[in-house]
């Protein structure tokens, strides 16, 4: 299709999770500005050139700007020409396609929904544009009445909902009161997790570095580690009330996973909340990458509350910008604290010695570590289909190659695998072992699937096999943020027979591993903990002193 110099057309629109992708064709878009426009808002859109005379822009509906979503308004795509804004035309072919592009994103027990609908708008006799109708909808003013099903001997759902809402409202009231009592809060650091206990991973590494640098002599460091999400809701509320007293004192709070308490409170501006996410990067969708499929609510999410989020590299900023629904300026590519000394011999050797002393049967053996993620839509229903493991084949392979097959299930999976007595010499269950990174040091081959454990393990430059027997179902049900076939750092196997053959033939696709490393690590051997301490904690202290002096 040939265009005059000033002709601009939108030729295609398609969705990618929460991203609305728009293809624009023109002779040239250089030195031109494109906007998403409504009656009250105007957002300038970035675009890239994807081929000659063809450009692409992406709109994240959950994070259009500074961690906010689109409003209840009608939006159009406009081009700025001579200080005037003009709707960009669409092709007739796209006009016919629009009616099949409408989206519904359900949330909050499916009582509410965000909808994106498209309509064709006539510009003049020969030209048409599109309108995106952004709407928030709910079943009624009291969604609990229609959305919760009563079971025998249960309190009526509307009463339970009222109690729940009152409890959650009370959390904010109590936090404000406690925060008022601690209005002089200063030099307090809280390390906390609501998904794991005891302290581990990034927070453990950060804690160690804080003490090495004697930060604990000028800051009081507190700890709160529990598996809160596994507890009954009313018990959890009372635990949160006690925790609010501690939180209200803090200058800095570091968390390492989803922490729903922060959904219900708005922290004092004297307190900074920093997410040091436990995972590097894997494949499965989390946070707002799951919006409409069990992900967080549009605005009321703990992820929106982060002042900063720490990620492994610059390449991962777009990934977590989508996951957390916050602006990219808040996402700091400082690396992961647990990897600060990860590749150093003085770290590796003592851990290996300790493991061999504790488990002498592993010494001088080649180790296959099987560490998949869980199945199921939520933590309480997490499981793994153990029937997908062929114990006979595993045992024969281990006998032939002198391997030990170590199983490390995801912490959410509570049901242990049953290993036949005759196989226990070669097949071991290490699911209760706390730190999987320790096991990486003695592992020769990692078998996993959609887990982010590939991130840390890939640094060791050892083979990875992805056993994805349910790839299509997992993509459809659990959702994938990064395509497995595109980003896999090793051999992809759809059957367990293929896994066994890959090990026997040493067919590991190591070129994929190298590509993964190049894409996900900007630099190595940096001290992430020091970057966090210097640029967040100590810089915050200096800024506070400046503000105090200015006030004086």
Cα separation, 330 vs 309, whole angstroms: 6
Strand, coil or helix: 86: strand
pLDDT at residue 393, rounded to an integer: 97
Interhelix angle 157-181/233-247, rounded to 10 degrees, is 10
pTM, rounded to two decimals: 0.84
One DSSP character per residue, 203-221 reads HHHHHHHHHHTTGGGTSEE
The alpha helices in 366-463, defined as continuous H runs, are 391-401, 436-440, 453-458
pLDDT at residue 262, rounded to an integer: 95
pLDDT at residue 482, rounded to an integer: 86
Instruction: Give the residue carrying structure tokens 């242990």.
Output: 416
Burial class (CB in 10 A: 0-12, 13-18, 19+), 173: exposed
Cα separation, 66 vs 299, whole angstroms: 12
Cα separation, 27 vs 135, whole angstroms: 34
CA distance between the termini of the chain: 66
Q: In sequence order, which residues have a C-beta less than 8 Å from that of residue 144 and are 6 or more positions away?
A: 111, 157, 158, 160, 161, 162
Instruction: Give the residue carrying structure tokens 């109590």.
Output: 174
Instruction: Give the residue carrying structure tokens 């952004």.
Output: 134
Which is it for strands 48-51 and 54-60: parallel, antiparallel or unpaired? antiparallel
Q: In sequence order, which residues have a C-beta less than 8 Å from that of residue 167 and are 6 or more positions away?
A: 234, 237
pLDDT at residue 550, rounded to an integer: 45
Cβ atoms of residues 115 and 87 within 8 Å:
no
One DSSP character per residue, 9-26 reads EEEEEEEETTEEEEEEEE
Domains and CATH numbers, the chain: 8-138 (2.60.40), 158-339 (3.40.50.11820), 345-514 (3.40.50.12580)
Cα separation, 426 vs 405, whole angstroms: 6
Structure tokens at 534: 């210097």
Cβ atoms of residues 76 and 131 within 8 Å:
yes
Cα separation, 315 vs 321, whole angstroms: 11
Cβ atoms of residues 259 and 193 within 8 Å:
yes
Instruction: Say which DSSP state 536 is in.
Output: I
One DSSP character per residue, 461-489 reads T--EEEE-TTHHHHHHHT-BSS-HHHH-S
Nearest to 192 by CA among 227, 230, 241, 233: 227
Burial class (CB in 10 A: 0-12, 13-18, 19+), 145: middle
Nearest to 64 by CA among 80, 75, 48, 49: 75
Q: In sequence order, which residues have a C-beta less than 8 Å from that of residue 295 and are 6 or more positions away?
A: 107, 285, 286, 287, 288, 289
Strand, coil or helix: 515: helix
Nearest to 287 by CA among 308, 259, 310: 259
pLDDT values of the chain reduced to their tens digit, one per residue, 552 residues: 554 556 899 999 999 999 999 999 998 887 789 999 999 999 999 999 999 999 999 999 999 988 889 999 999 999 988 788 889 999 999 999 998 999 999 988 788 899 999 999 888 777 899 999 999 988 765 555 444 433 334 444 567 677 777 888 899 999 999 999 988 778 999 999 998 888 999 999 999 999 999 999 999 999 999 988 778 877 888 899 999 999 999 999 999 999 999 999 999 999 999 999 998 888 888 899 888 877 788 888 899 999 999 999 999 999 999 999 999 999 999 999 999 999 999 999 999 999 999 999 999 999 999 999 999 877 788 999 999 999 999 999 999 999 999 999 998 899 999 999 999 999 999 999 988 999 999 999 999 999 999 999 999 999 999 999 999 888 877 788 888 999 999 999 999 999 999 999 999 999 999 999 988 887 665 799 999 999 999 986 666 655 545 443
Interhelix angle 391-401/496-505, rounded to 10 degrees, is 10
């Amino acid at each position: 299709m040939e265009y005059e110099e000033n002709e601009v057309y939108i030729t295609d629109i398609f969705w990618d999770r929460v991203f609305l992708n728009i293809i624009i064709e023109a002779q040239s878009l250089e030195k031109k500005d494109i906007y998403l426009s409504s009656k009250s808002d105007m957002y300038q859109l970035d675009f890239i050139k994807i081929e000659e005379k063809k450009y692409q822009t992406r709109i994240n509906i959950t994070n259009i700007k500074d961690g906010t979503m689109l409003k209840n308004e009608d939006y159009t795509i406009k081009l700025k020409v001579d200080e005037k804004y003009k709707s960009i035309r669409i092709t007739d072919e796209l006009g016919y396609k629009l009616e099949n592009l409408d989206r519904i994103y359900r949330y909050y027990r499916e009582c509410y929904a965000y909808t994106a609908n498209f309509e064709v708008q006539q510009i003049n006799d020969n030209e048409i544009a599109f309108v995106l109708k952004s709407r928030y909808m709910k079943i009624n003013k009291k969604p609990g009445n229609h959305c919760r099903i009563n079971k025998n001997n249960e309190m009526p759902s509307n009463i339970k909902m009222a109690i729940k809402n009152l409890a959650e409202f009370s959390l904010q009231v109590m936090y404000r009161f406690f925060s008022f009592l601690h209005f002089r809060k200063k030099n307090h650091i809280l390390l906390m997790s609501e998904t794991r206990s005891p302290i581990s991973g990034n927070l453990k590494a950060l804690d160690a570095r804080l003490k090495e640098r004697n930060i604990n002599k000028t800051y009081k460091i507190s700890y709160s580690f529990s598996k809160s999400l596994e507890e009954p809701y009313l018990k959890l509320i009372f635990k949160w009330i006690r925790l609010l007293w501690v939180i209200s004192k803090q200058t800095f709070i570091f968390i390492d996973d989803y922490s729903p308490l922060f959904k219900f409170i708005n922290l004092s501006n004297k307190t900074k909340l920093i997410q040091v996410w436990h995972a590097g990067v894997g494949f499965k969708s989390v946070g707002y990458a799951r919006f409409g499929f069990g992900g967080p609510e549009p605005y009321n999410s703990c992820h929106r509350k982060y002042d900063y989020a720490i990620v492994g590299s610059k390449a991962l900023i777009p990934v977590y910008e989508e996951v957390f629904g916050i602006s990219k300026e808040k996402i700091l590519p400082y690396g992961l604290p647990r990897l600060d000394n990860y590749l150093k011999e003085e770290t590796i050797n003592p851990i290996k010695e300790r493991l061999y002393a504790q488990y002498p049967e592993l010494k001088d053996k080649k180790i296959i570590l099987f560490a998949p993620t869980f199945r199921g839509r939520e933590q309480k229903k997490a499981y793994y289909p153990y029937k997908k493991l062929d114990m006979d084949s595993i045992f024969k392979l281990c006998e032939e190659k002198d391997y030990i097959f170590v199983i490390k299930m995801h912490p959410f999976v509570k049901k242990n695998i049953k290993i036949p007595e005759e196989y226990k010499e070669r097949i071991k269950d290490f699911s209760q072992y706390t730190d999987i990174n320790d096991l990486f040091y003695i592992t020769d081959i990692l078998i996993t699937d959609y887990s982010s454990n590939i991130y840390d393990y890939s640094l060791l430059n050892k083979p990875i096999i992805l056993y994805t027997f349910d790839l299509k179902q997992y993509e459809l049900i659990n959702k994938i943020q990064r395509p497995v076939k595109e980003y896999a750092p090793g051999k992809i196997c759809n059957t367990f027979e293929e896994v066994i053959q890959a090990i026997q033939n040493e067919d590991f696709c190591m070129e994929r591993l190298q590509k993964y490393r190049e894409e996900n690590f900007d630099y190595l051997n940096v001290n992430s903990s020091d970057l966090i301490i210097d640029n967040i904690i100590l810089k915050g202290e200096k800024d506070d002193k400046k503000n105090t002096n200015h006030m004086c």
